[in-house]
Amino acid sequence: MSEPLAILGGIPAVPPGLEFKMWPEVTEVDEAMVLASLRQDKHAFGPHAEALQEEFSAWNGNKYCFATNSGTAALHMSVAACGIGPGDEVITPALSWTSSASCILHHNAIPIFVDVDWPSMQIDPERIEGAITPKTKGILVVHYWGVSCDMDPILEIARLHNLSLIEDACQAVGANYKGRKTGTLGDAAGFSLNQNKNFTGGEGGLFVTDDEEKFKRGKAVTSFSDMRPPEAGREYHDYGLGWMYRTSDLAAAFALSQLRKLEDTNIRAMENWWALDKMLEDTPNLIPAFKSEERPSNGYAYVLRVDPEYVKDRHVELSDMTDGIVKALAAEGVKQSRANWLLPAHSVFQAKDAYGKGYPWSAEHTRPDISYDVNQFPVAQACVDTCLWHVYNHRPPNGQEQLEALAAAIRKVFTGLDDIAVGV
C-alpha cells in the first residue's frame, strides 16, 4: 500500500531541512565582475555591455548583437528590424509568455495566433499557412521551455510566402535544431537575461541578427532618434519613436560573467534534466517533458502534465485536477506553477484595445475581421489546463539529493491522484 499523501496527513516526500537552491549560482567571479563595473566610470552603457555583445555574438554564432534591458525589448527590436509596421500581421503561437505578442503590438502590428501541437506545446507548422493573409508579413516562433521549434517546415513556409521569420529564443539560449543554435535560424531573434533563464544578468536581453540593414533598423528603436537632428552625431536617423532599450553596464557585467561559464552551466542543467527524466520513468498518469534528438532541451525547465485521459475517466475538469496536483505537490515540499498563458484569452485581445479607442485594431490599416475566439485554440487550452513547471528545482546548484526528493514527490503525487480531492 502506498504512503498517504502529505495533503492527507502523510509524511512529506521532501525531507525536513532539504532546500531547493535558488538560481543563479553566484560566485566570487561574478562578484568581482560586478565590482569592476562599479569601479569604472561608464555606467550607462560601458565596457562590459560592449564585451557582452561581442562575446555573445561569437558564442552563439551571430554577426550582430545588441544588449538590451529585457527580452521583450529584444523582440520588439526584431519586429522593427524586419520592417513590420502598422496593420501588418505576424503569426505567433497561442501559448507563450506575453512578450511574444506584446512585442508585435509595440510596433503597431497585429498578432495572429495559431494553435500548438500537443507533444511539444509549440507552434504547429501545419496550422501556419491557414493563417496567412495578404496582410501577413512575418512569423514569430517561440522556442518554448528551452526547446527549439520544428524549424524546417516553418522555414519552408516563410520562404514560400516571402515572410520574415523572428525567433523568440528568450528561454532557449544554447538550445539547437539539428545542431544549429537558436537565434541563428531566422532573420532576427531575441534572448532574455531575466533571472529565471539559463543565462542571466538579473534582467536584460539580447537582439541578434546576421543582416546589417536589419541590425540598423532594429537598433534604431533603442534611442530617441526622433528627437535628434542628424548633425547631433547619433547614427540613428530613422523615422518613428525611440525607446530607451539599452542595458546598463552593471547588469551587463553580471551577464558577462555568467556567459563565460554558460557552456558548463547548460551542460549541468541538461544532465540534471535528463537525470530527473530518468527518475520519473513509468510514473502513472504523468506526461513527461518533451524529448527530441533533433531538438534537445537546454535544461531550462522540466514541464509536467497530467494525462487528460485519466482526468476524463475521473469525470472532472482538467484545470481543477491540475489545481489539486499543485496543492498536493506543495504539501510534499515542492512548489510548482501553473502555466496560465493562453495569449488570445488576455483582456487586451478580447477587448481589442491596446492603446485606447481600439488601437491598433481600429486603425485604418488593420484588417477588420480578426477573431480571437479562444475556441480556435483547443490544444493550447488543454496545455494551459494541465501544464506545471518550475525552472529552479532541477537546475544547478541543485544536485542529486534535490533531484531525488523532487522525483519522489512527483511520483508520490501522480501515483496517488485518486486520493486528491478535485474542485474543492
The residue from 21, 42, 63, 197 that is catalytic is 197
Name the pairing type of β-strands 205-209 and 64-68: antiparallel
Nearest to 56 by CA among 259, 334, 322, 263: 259
Work out the number of other CB atoms within 10 angstroms of the CB of residue 249.
26
Cα dihedral value 194, 200, 203, 207, nearest 10: -90
Which residues make Cβ contacts (< 8 Å) with residue 334, sequence separation at least 6?
Answer: 13, 14, 20, 390, 393, 405, 406, 409, 410
Written as nine digits, the cell of 33 is 565582475
Q: What is the 3-state secondary structure (H, E, C) of 101-168?
A: HHHHHCCCCEEEEECECCCCCCECHHHCHHHCCCCEEEEEEECHHHCCCCHHHHHHHHHHCCCEEEEE
What is the distance between the alpha carbons of residues 48 and 68, in angstroms, rounded to a whole number? 13
Specify whether 197 is catalytic.
yes
Catalytic residues, by residue number, are 197
